[in-house]
Chain A
Amino acid sequence: QSALTQPPSASGSPGQSVTISCTGTSSDVGGYNYVSWYQQHPGKAPKLMIYEVSKRPSGVPDRFSGSKSGNTASLTVSGLQAEDEADYYCSSYAGSNRVFGTGTKVTVL
């Protein structure tokens, strides 16, 4: 099972939006509506930000949104804030397994 492909980095100024892509195959991202996104600050455990493609857990700001088209899922962070600077990982169900993306470092300029 190969890791899902994410861009290594993305950046934006405070208040701007940034979109991160997550490309897989028809066996994972394209085959199921079970894509999740995780935020990880340095030295901390990951935090669930989006699940089932576009749902937000309680407590996650509505600045975070998810979508999917074909084999590619996307996470958009609108109204960037300093605390959004972190690593972001997508994850997809893939039959009896699951696979993470390669990770994207988001920098707030």
Chain B
Amino acid sequence: EVQLVQSGAEVKKPGESLKISCKGSGYSFTSYWIGWVRQMPGKGLEWMGIIYPGDSDTRYSPSFQGQVTISADKSISTAYLQWSSLKASDTAMYYCASALTGVDAFDIWGQGTMVTVSS
């Protein structure tokens, strides 16, 4: 079965660091782009950036450049999203998604990771 499985919910304090994961299975992980999407509570979807696990080519959306780091470890078919210093405004659901079907067609989605940042 083709799937992306994300790491579990996190509760952190402002200023702490965090790295969440997205593990792919059932397909050639290195051959398809993976994107990260933020959804703040009650709000819409926002593209954060994408990575091509085959060569780690990474593209950030302007709003997220410098705010997060996207990476991948192709040896374990896992993509990551990390923060060095969390803020309360980072509280959101984060989804990973992979584009297997067509250009920019993100058809496989993880279940989401809820990140709560609160003092």
Contact = CB atoms under 8 A, between A and B. Distances in A.
Interface in A15-71: 34, 36, 38, 40, 45-48, 51-52, 55, 57
Contacts of B61: 1, 97-99
Contact of A52 (B35, B45, B103): B103
A55 B62 contact: no
B47 A98 contact: yes
B95 interface: yes
B77 interface: no
Contacts of B109: 45-47
Contacts of A97: 47, 59, 61-62
A72 interface: no
A99 B45 CA distance: 9
Interface in B85-110: 95, 97, 101-107, 109-110
Given A45-B111, A97-B59, A51 B45 contact: no
Contacts of A55: 102, 105
Contacts of B97: 46
Interface string A67-99: 000000000000000000001010101001111
A3 interface: yes
A106 to B, nearest CB: 14
Contacts of B47: 91, 97-100
B35 to A, nearest CB: 8
A13 B105 CA distance: 30
Interface of A: 1, 3, 34, 36, 38, 40, 45-48, 51-52, 55, 57, 87, 89, 91, 93, 96-103
Nearest 3 CB-CB pairings of A with B: A51-B105, A45-B109, A103-B44
